[in-house]
Amino acid sequence: MAKIRVRARAVDMLGRQQIAGIPTAIHELFKNAHDAYAKHVEVDYFRGDSAFVLRDDGFGMTREEFEGKWLTIGTESKINANDLPIPKFLGEGVERRPVLGEKGIGRLAIATIGPQVLVLTRAIREDGLHDLVVSFIHWGLFEIPGIDVDQIEIPVGTLLGGQLPDSKFVEGLVCRVRENVEGLPASVTSELKNTLISQLATFNINPAAVEDSLGFPSLRGDGHGTHFYGSSD
Ligand SMILES: Nc1ncnc2c1ncn2[C@@H]1O[C@H](COP(=O)(O)OP(=O)(O)OP(=O)(O)O)[C@@H](O)[C@H]1O
Ligand SMILES: [Mg+2]
């Protein structure tokens, strides 16, 4: 007996390489915000800092959902979604939205916008608001030839609901990715490792400070939804 092994590059090919460009990528992310019953989606691009922020005020993801759906390729989470009752936590009078997602790979579009991304998501469910889930991904790791997808670790942290991560919190997640890069097998050249490590060192986004200047939709207080902070360098 044998098993199919999945190279890390497969994720890159399904995501970044399938997406025609930034407009298509934003379209995929807006589709996801629509499916999460968001009322607002905002995209901001800061040319000077090569940074982009995409924020929706949808129903977000719990930690289990983030790991089981967002970090799981080919999720079938939206199959039959059109036949299910509209979640009660959305409030009275919310009209059903036809679900746009079908394939389970659209979120990988985010890799097209920039190689490094911080994901913040906070869920609202029947039992109320959940804690904030924060994760950081360097998509460049998925371009490394010769490594399997399970050799790449994605750090995920949680913060008490209503709070936002500061630079120190973000630094902690980035540091774990750096350790992952350093620990990759010797078949990955030190030149490639050093390139990734120096890119990681440039990622210094502070969502708490950025949100102060951007305002709504916010994850502070009783805010919920999914926000992406990316660097397009
Ligand atoms: N903005 C978001 N808010 C809440 N959940 C989200 C968001 N983006 C993604 N998800 C969750 O992650 C899952 C994967 O999203 P993805 O776009 O990859 O697949 P899909 O929407 O099911 O199908 P498609 O590939 O056709 O877009 C979604 O089914 C949803 O559960
Ligand atoms: Mg989608």
- The one-digit pLDDT tens for each residue of the chain (233 residues) are 999 999 999 999 988 888 888 899 999 999 999 999 999 999 999 988 889 999 999 999 999 999 999 999 888 777 777 888 888 898 888 899 999 998 888 999 999 999 999 999 999 999 999 999 999 999 999 999 999 999 999 999 999 999 999 999 999 999 999 999 999 999 999 999 999 999 999 999 999 999 988 989 999 999 999 999 998 76
- Look up residue 112 and give its amino acid: T
Amino acid at 107: R
Q: Identify the residue whose tokens are 């939206």.
A: 78
Q: Rounded to whole angstroms, what are the CA distances from 170 to 32, 91, 174?
A: 24, 33, 6
Evaluate whether 108 touches 29 at the Cβ level (below 8 Å): no
DSSP assignment letter at 46: E
pTM score, two decimals? 0.96
Task: Kindly report whether the peptide bond that precedes residue 85 is cis, defined as omega within 30 degrees of 0.
Answer: no
**DSSP 3-state assignment of 17?**
coil
- Domain range holding 74? 8-231
Q: What is the pLDDT of residue 115?
A: 94
189 C-alpha vs ligand 2 centroid, how far in Å? 35
Rounded Cα distance, 16 and 112, in Å: 5
**DSSP-based three-state secondary structure for 169:** helix
Q: For position 17, what pLDDT does the model report?
A: 84
Residue 36 CB–ligand 1 contact under 6 Å: yes
Torsion on CA atoms 25, 84, 72, 52, rounded to nearest 10? 30
Residue 139 lies in a domain: yes
Q: Is there an atom of ligand 1 within 6 Å of 103 CB? A: yes
Pocket of ligand 1 contains residue 223 by CB under 6 Å: no
DSSP class of residue 86 equals: P
The answer to whether residue 3 sits within a structural domain is: no
In a domain, 221, yes or no: yes
Beta bridge partners of 128: 125
Q: Is 75 in the pocket of ligand 1 (CB under 6 A)?
A: yes
Question: CATH no. for residue 53?
Answer: 3.30.565
> 15 lies in a domain?
yes
d(CA 203, CA 167): 10
Of 32, 78, 21, the C-alpha closest to 54 is: 32
Is residue 24 one of the residues assigned to a domain?
Answer: yes
At 160 the pLDDT is 96
Sign of CA dihedral 149, 202, 120, 55: negative
The domain total for the chain is 1
The predicted structure's pLDDT at residue 20: 82
Return the amino acid letter for 225.
Answer: G
Q: What is the pLDDT of residue 102?
A: 87
pLDDT of the residue at 86: 87
* Ligand 2 centre distance from Cα of residue 105 (Å): 7
CA 225/CA 42 separation, integer angstroms:
12
Whether ligand 1 lies within 6 angstroms of the CB of 106 is answered as yes
Instruction: Tell me whether residue 59 is in a domain.
Output: yes
Domain assignment present for residue 1? The answer is no
Residue 32 Cα to ligand 1 midpoint, Å, equals: 5
Using CA atoms, how far apart are residues 121 and 170, in angstroms rounded to an integer? 14
Residue 179 domain-assigned (yes or no): yes
